[in-house]
Structure 1
Amino acid sequence: MRSLCPNLYAIGPLHTHHRARLGTSHATFSNSLWEEDKSCLAWLDAQPLKSVIFVSIGSLAVMTKDQLLEFWHGLVNSGKLFLWVRQHGSIAGDITESQIPVELLEGTRKRGCIVGWAPQEEVNSRFVGEVWKLGLDMKDTCDRVIVEKMIKELMEERKDEFMGRANQMSKLARKSVSEGGSSFCNLDRLMEDIRVMSLQASKS
């Protein structure tokens, strides 16, 4: 690939770069195109460590009301804490609170947090499920029994397996953005190339 495109710059993950270079523990910027609801961060901080499942419908997917309620039942029935990113406009048609079963509202009040968009690194579900193996891709399934089963598989039966992979990925990310790491060096190379091109342009 580099022989065809010599100027490739693999510089992610960007949020980790920001913390590493500025020496801060919390990112103060976002690379998201969507407005983030950061109220979920306080909610997350109040939950036990490694106890929350993150659920994202994505920025383009649209669910019907029936699919939404079926999926929601699966989340609540799992009995697990959940952070659900459900973007405005992701539901076909309007749904009012009076149309939502009371058990879903009560279960969410006790164990859930729903936001329109959360601070996150934007990734494709295929990478999460099939390449990095850090989560499960539900393949557009909206059956409450299957949703509940997959959540319990992730949070109980295979929790150690997924946590091990997540920890390894975290270590690799931190190493890559540390001084001398591949991402760190690529970002420096990108900035230097931009500087050189700017100088050349100013002389022409």
Structure 2
Amino acid sequence: MMKVTDFIFKIESPELQALQLQRFRSLLSHNSTEVMVEVRATFTNAVISSSSIIVNSMKFLEQEALSRVKKFIPAPIFTLGPLHKLAPRIRDSLLTKEDKCISWLNKKAPESIIYVSFGSLASIDKEELIEAAWGLASSERPFLWVVRPGMVRSSEWIELLPNGFQESVGQRACIVQWAPQKEVLAHAAVGGFWSHCGWNSSMESICEGLPMLCKPFFGDQLLNTSYICNVWKIGLELHELQRGNVERRIKRLMVDMKGMAIRKRAMDLKKDVALCLMKDDSTSCFLNDLTNYLSFSSV
């Protein structure tokens, strides 16, 4: 069976160098359990043996990496993203969303809100929650924060938030158990996204032209963060959940002149996505190619 590390080959291009693949390989191998090694190997071999591969991405986002991957995989690869734009009505969460946050956003100034969500699986401890909370408060930016029940280990919901926190932020904050993320990211009041950098969340953010504050936890989130911060350069990585660090990163991302280039590149990518979705552009072409491929294969 081919190992997942066989895909990390000699790096020659600036784009792949920026991904820091050697660092990613060391992270994959660090404290890997036998089960995880087997899962990765099984997944890799399933990809290699596939008759065709559909990727929720866009060619312009990963052109160099895709060209290298094709050297290892004989099956055709179809980049049909962003799937949430092509099939917007598909249910995208098992958790119940709270729409009250939309009415709260409607009252806020354009691009003033930072939206914070760590996805449906990541967990943090009480100390990290406290540091994140005071960092958000000290940033003086209004924020919408998704705190899932159980996101903080051994918690029901927000009972572990520090004393005085909610009073200090008042109406500047909206804390919910879950949110209609695609609608939130597309809202005019939202100007940035603090994310765990799962692929779906990253794609949704790119499509709305939002700069990102990246705090990956595990798996592909680490590599996605390298893309966001080092290749596309539309985000800042948050290495530690420490209140001063959180405050500084939020301010740089949302308001400082130093973050202006990041915000501009994020909007430029949004324009590229719009072009990609136009008739006769890459996504439509790949969709036609996939249809033709499936029709030919079934004959």
TM-score normalised per structure 1: 0.78
What amino acid sits opposite 2:112 in the alignment?
A: S
Whether 1:88 and 2:180 are equivalent positions in the alignment is no
1:117-128 to structure 2, matched below 5 A, reads: 117-118=178-179, 119-120=181-182, 121-123=200-202, 124=221, 125-126=224-225, 127-128=227-228
Match for residue 266 of structure 2 among 152, 166, 180: 166
Question: Could you say which residue in structure 1 is the equivalent of 2:112?
Answer: 51
Counterparts in 2 of 1:55 and 1:98: CA distance versus 1, 3 Å: closer
Shift of 1:60: 3.4
| Superposed CA offset, 1:122-174 (max 9, x none) | 334513333322222212x1211111111111112134222211110100101
Counterpart among 115, 124, 127 of residue 63 in structure 1: 124
Correspondent of 1:35 among 69, 83, 95: 95
Is 1:178–2:278 an aligned residue pair? yes
User: 1:16·1:173 contact (CA, 8 Å) conserved in 2?
Assistant: no
1:187–1:107 Cα change, 3 Å: farther
CA RMSD of aligned residues (A): 2.6
Taking a change above 3 Å as real, the CA distance of residues 102 and 41 of structure 1, as seen in their structure-2 partners, is same
Given that residues 84 and 115 in structure 1 are in contact (C-alpha distance below 8 angstroms), is that contact kept between their aligned partners in structure 2? yes
Partner of 2:243: 144
Deviation per residue, 1:52-109 (Å, 9 max, x gap): 1122324433211111011111001111011223333221112665543343213454
Q: Give the 3-state SS of the residue equivalent to 2:111 in structure 1.
A: coil
> In the alignment, which residue of structure 1 is the partner of 2:43?
none
The alpha-carbon distance between structure 1 residues 34 and 162, as it changes in their structure 2 partners (threshold 3 A), is farther
Match of 2:176 in 1: 115
SS at 1:136 equivalent: strand
Q: Which shifted more, 98-107 or 83-92?
A: 98-107
Secondary structure at 1:37's aligned position in 2?
A: coil
Q: Mean Cα displacement is larger for which, 127-136 or 63-72?
A: 127-136
Contact in 2 for aligned 1:16/1:174 (Cα 8 Å): no
2:137 paired residue number: 76
| Equivalent pairs, count | 189
Preserved contact between residue 147 and residue 177 of structure 2 (Cα < 8 Å): yes
Counterpart code for 2:245:
I
Q: Is the contact made by 2:149 and 2:157 (CA closer than 8 Å) also made in structure 1? A: no
- Give the Cα separation in 2 of the matches to 1:97 and 1:117: 13
1:13-24 alignment runs, 5 A limit = 13-18=82-87
**Structure 1 2/15 Cα, relative in aligned 2: closer, same or farther at 3 Å?**
same
Q: Distance in 2 between matches of 1:72 and 1:161?
A: 27
Q: Is the 8 A contact 1:34 1:117 kept in 2?
A: no
1:12 aligned partner = 81
Q: Flag the 1:34–1:5 CA change in 2: closer, same or farther, 3 A.
A: farther
Deviating more after overlay: 130-139 vs 173-182: 130-139
Change (3 A) 1:41 1:55: same
The gaps in structure 2 that reach 5 residues or longer are 1-68, 183-199, 203-220
